[in-house]
Amino acid sequence: MSPARDETTPGVLLAHHLKQLKLPTVLREYDKVARECAQSGLDHPRYLLRLLELELIDRERRMVERRIRAARFPAVKSLDTFDFAAIPSLNKMLVLELARCGYILGRENVIALGNSGTGKTHIALALGLAACQKGFPVTFTTAASLVNQLLEARDERRLLRLQRELAAVKLLIVDELGYVPLSSTGAELLFEVFSQRYERGSTVVTSNLPFEDWTSVLGSERLTGALLDRLTHHVSILSLNGDSYRLKASRSRRGRAGGAEQTQASADTHDPETGEVLPT
Ligand code: ADP
Ligand code: MG
């Protein structure tokens, strides 16, 4: 064996074994941490401890990232960027309590109601993120997209599999119930999802419609009653009624722009949800 091979073999083997054992942080850090420990006179159990702690911290971070990807959030938003002062109707203490995820352990639901642009999706995303960080598998979808997925799965004879997947996720977030009226089959499939999750997992629903108007989306009064019965048995209701944050934000941008208002008028666009004119 040549001296060169003698020197390289332990490093190469170590890299191989650490990869096999799925310890990427130990592999990346062992040399640097060894030098640090030698400098500060730490013995080998402490060296090993420091390395393994780094691996654990990294592993937790990787798992949170994986859960966030699996949740399919349209954007990652947290409560840190939510301005509670902008929406006084929202019970801040309740939201902070929900972010601790106790309701997921209790298999309870959350319903956020309010007009467009008041932060319902932001709050739902923030609760989803908090759940990912606490270790719960999360799925985010809109009511329209969920119903489409269910109809497609039914046509392709894989409805049962999708229903099982949806029933198994610890937190299912169904955003925007109410913007699109559902077909009667669509409404029944959605009802089945809520029904199968009843007391088995948590569901967060956001809607621009008060409960009394849900029939207009679900079609049948009987179905709406049965769905609300299950959804609201163990529930926290968040009320977000107020001015649209989007509109307020764009108005204050326009205010800052000052005299530019006139010249920008031709570039106005419409809020897709409310039809309100939004300056760009
Ligand atoms: P909704 O789902 O009720 O229509 P969104 O959650 O989509 O409203 O909010 C519209 C936009 O305004 C988003 O970009 C959101 O992050 C932001 N937003 C709404 N309310 C607040 C708030 N109170 N603090 C910070 N950002 C907000
Ligand atoms: Mg929304």
Averages of pLDDT over each 10 residues, the chain, 280 residues: 59 95 97 96 96 97 97 98 96 98 98 97 98 97 97 97 96 96 96 95 97 95 96 96 84 64 38 41
| 120 CB near ligand 1 (under 6 Å) | yes
Q: How far is the CA of 76 from the centre of ligand 1 (A)?
A: 12
Q: Which pLDDT value is given to residue 252? A: 75
Cα(120)–Cα(111) distance, integer angstroms: 9
- Residue 70, Cβ density class (10 Å: 0-12 exposed, 13-18 middle, ≥19 buried): middle
Ligand 1 atom, smallest distance to 175 CA:
2
SS (H, E, C) the chain: CCHHHHHHHHHHHHHHHHHHCCCHHHHHHHHHHHHHHHHCCCCHHHHHHHHHHHHHHHHHHHHHHHHHHHHCCCCCCCHHHCCHHHCCCCCHHHHHHHCCCHHHHCCCEEEEEECCCCCHHHHHHHHHHHHHHCCCCEEEEEHHHHHHHHHHHHHCCCHHHHHHHHHHCCEEEEEEECCCCCCHHHHHHHHHHHHHHCCCCEEEEEECCCHHHCHHHHCCHHHHHHHHHHHCCCEEEEEECCCCHHHHHHHHHHHHHCCHHHHHHHHCEECCCCCCEECC
Q: Counting beta carbons within 10 angstroms of the beta carbon of residue 108, is it exposed (0 to 12), middle (13 to 18) or buried (19 or more)?
A: middle
- pLDDT attached to residue 125: 98
At residue 279, the pLDDT reads 39
Rounded alpha-carbon distances, angstroms, from residue 69 to 64, 96, 138, 165: 9, 23, 10, 16
Q: Is 234 in the pocket of ligand 1 (CB under 6 A)?
A: no
This prediction has a pTM of 0.84
Residue-level pLDDT at 270: 41
Nearest CA to ligand 1 atom 9: 119
- Cα of 158 vs centre of ligand 2, distance in Å, is 29
**Ligand 1 closest atom vs CA 249:** 12
Ligand 1 within 6 A of CB of 175: no
Residue 274 CB-density burial (10 A; 0-12 exposed, 13-18 middle, 19+ buried): middle
Whole-angstrom distance, CA of residue 180 vs CA of residue 5: 68
Task: Give pLDDT, residue 273.
Answer: 42
What is the location of CATH 3.40.50.300 in the chain? 79-240
Q: How far is the CA of 246 from the centre of ligand 1 (A)?
A: 7
Query: Which pLDDT value is given to residue 9?
Result: 84
User: For residue 100, how far is its CA from the centre of ligand 1 (angstroms)?
Assistant: 21
Fold for 79-240, please state it.
Rossmann fold (3.40.50)
Residues in a beta bridge with 214: none
